Amino acid sequence: MSAIFLSNNSARIAIQPQLGAGLSCYDVVKDDHWEPIFRTADPATQHPFHLSNILLVPFSGRVSGGGFTFDGTFFPVERNIETEKYPIHGSAFSSVWTVSERADDHIVLSLSADGPGPFRYDAVMTYRLEGSALVMRLAVTNRANIRLPFGAGFHPWFVRDRQTFLTASAEGVWLEQADHLPERFDPVSKHADMDFNTRRPLPDRWINNWFSGWNRTARIEWPTRGLAVDVDSSEDLDQYVVFSPSSEADFFCFEPVSHPVDAFNLPGGPQAHGMKVLDPSGSLTIATKVKPIRT
C-alpha cells in the first residue's frame, strides 16, 4: 500500500499504513510555499526509524533484562530491531495497519496485535488536520486475559536548523548509559543546556534524555524560518524525550510519552513511573496537537 495524503489549503501529511501508520511528512503553507514541520522522509523507505513520526505502543523506549516481572510473573519480551541490543518501542510502529475511515480532514487506522511478549491489544489511530494544525489521537485496548502495564507516546522527528529553540517545562531528567538505558535521575537544574523551562537552543552535542514534570505544553521555534509550533498533549503524556545526535543533524525528536525508558524495570515498578495497568478490555487514550505559528 502506498502513502495516503491528507491536504487542505494550510497543511498536508502523508500516512504510511503499511509501515506502522507512521508519517512521512507534515508540511504547512507559509508565504505561498510548503515548509516542513516534521522532517520529510523518503516515501520509499522501508525502515520506520527513517519516517517523520511513529507510534509508541504498548510501551516507549527500551526494555532491559530480556523482559519484565509483573504480578509475580516474568514476561519475556523479544528484541525487535536487528541493530538494537534491547526490545524498543513496542510493536505498533513496525506493524501493518488497516485504514478503517477516511475523510477530507482525517484518517482512522486500526491494528490488532499479538505481542510483543504477553501483550495482546487493539489500537486505533486518528490523524486530523485542523487548519494548519495536526492532531494525533491513539487509543489502545488490552485484549490479553490478564492485566498488564501499558505505555504509549508519539515520536515525531521535527526539523532542526542552525537556530532551533525549545521551551518545555521539566523538574527532572534521566541521564543515559552507553547502552541508552537510564543511568540516574537528576534535577534538571543541574544540567543547564538541558533545562528547557526557559527558551533555550538545543545542545550542540548528542542528547537522548527523558524529562519528568512536564505541564504538557511546549514551544519549538525556528526564527530564521519565521515559524514556531505549540505542542499540547493529553493528561497521560506528562513526560517527554528529546533526541538529536548533534548540531549538524537536520532533525531532533520531541516525544510526548507516558513513561521513561525501561519503566518496567526501574525501582518502584512501572506504575510508579507513569505506566497504566489495564485490566482485560481496559483502555488508554493519548493525544497530541501540533499547532504552527508564524513569528
Task: Please list the rounded mean pLDDT of every run of 10 residues in the chain (295 residues).
Answer: 91 98 98 96 92 98 98 97 96 98 97 98 98 98 98 98 97 96 96 97 97 98 97 98 96 98 97 97 98 92
Q: How much is the pLDDT for 45? A: 92
Q: Which three cell numbers stand for residue 295?
A: 513569528
Give residue limits of the domains in the chain. Answer: 4-162+206-213+234-294
Kindly state the DSSP code that residue 90 receives in the 8-state scheme: B
Q: Kindly report each contact of residues 93-102 with a partner whose C-beta sits within 8 Å and lies 24 or more positions away, as own/partner.
A: 93/20, 93/22, 93/48, 93/54, 93/55, 93/56, 93/155, 94/19, 94/20, 94/48, 95/20, 96/17, 96/18, 97/17, 97/18, 97/20, 97/21, 97/125, 98/17, 99/4, 99/17, 100/124, 102/4
Q: What is the pTM of this model?
A: 0.97
Cβ neighbors of 216 (< 8 A, separation 6 or more) are: 232, 233, 234, 235, 237, 238, 256
CATH code of the domain made up of 4-162+206-213+234-294:
2.70.98.10
| H runs (alpha helix) in the chain | none
CA-based R_g, the chain, Å: 18
Q: How much is the pLDDT for 295? A: 82
Q: Each residue of 23-76: pLDDT tens digit? A: 999 999 999 999 999 999 998 899 999 999 999 999 999 999 999 999 999 999
Q: How much is the pLDDT for 1? A: 60
